[in-house]
Amino acid sequence: MKVLIVYWHPEPLSFNASMFRAARDTFLQAGHEVRTSDLHAMAFDPVSSRKNFITIKDPSFLKQQAEEAYATEMHGFSEEIEAEIQKLEWCDLMVWQFPLWWFGLPGVLKGWVDRVFAMQRTYGGGHIYETGVFTGRRAFLSLTTGGPEESYRKGGFNGDILGVLRPIHRGILQFVGFDVLAPHVVYGPAHLTQEQRHGALELFATRLLSIPSEVPIDVGLY
């Protein structure tokens, strides 16, 4: 299996960093191929602009989707963006590792999506959802929260975690064709003991070993 892990956290000693390393090492030890995008280490710029491209369709007005479609036709993405798109096209499984910020993706990871999920290259021309470019491939979110698990249940203080994540599951991953596996959530790692954090990493590694046999979730059910 070819695995792409896209990770962002500003602190290399964070629990997210430990989860990133655990995922990378577990997949490698199980014999899978792994590529990574450590966005903080890469100093990835999340802001879209003409720097996404080496081609120009309309020099007088920047319409990103039009420029993406033109760059797809003319092989005109910048070296940085082309490299990330090729990782996306290469993988059988994509994992995003991140802390939940303001009920969504951190800005840098969202900016990676904005720049890398390019019109005509990764979606468009009738290729969305069930006919998406990445149909037959799988993805899942691995994340941490600040609050405890009971805050993210149905009727909880913050609402059901699956409802919180639905815009990402449906509006990004499924939109381009990925089958979505159940998210892996570690709730409030900052409030756990060292022993509990170690146990959480072991549970994560155990789950990763069973990923090839997991069944996608039905995003439409929540």
> pLDDT for 117-174, tens place per residue?
999 999 999 999 999 999 999 999 999 999 888 898 888 888 899 999 999 999 999 9
**With b meaning 16 or more CB within 10 Å and e meaning fewer, what string describes 158-184?**
beebbebbbebbeebbbbbbbbbbebb
- State the pLDDT at residue 222: 53
Which of the two residues, 27 and 190, has the higher pLDDT score?
27
Q: What is the CATH number of domain 2-221?
A: 3.40.50.360
Give me 7's structure tokens: 């990770």
Backbone φ and ψ of 221, nearest 5°: -85, -5
- State the pLDDT at residue 88: 98
Helices within the chain (DSSP H only): 15-29, 64-74, 79-90, 107-116, 161-168, 194-209
Percent of the chain scoring above 70 in pLDDT: 99
- State the pLDDT at residue 158: 87
> pLDDT for 70-85, tens place per residue?
999 999 999 999 999 9
pLDDT at 107 over 60: yes
For residue 65, the Cα-to-chain-centroid distance in whole angstroms is 21
> pLDDT for 45-71, tens place per residue?
999 999 999 999 999 999 999 999 999
pLDDT tier for residue 220 given thresholds of 50, 70 and 90: confident
pLDDT at 110 over 90: yes
CA quadruple 111, 113, 118, 119: dihedral, nearest 10: -100
Percent of the chain scoring above 90 in pLDDT: 91
pLDDT at 94 over 80: yes
- State the pLDDT at residue 201: 97
> pLDDT for 185-194, tens place per residue?
999 998 989 9
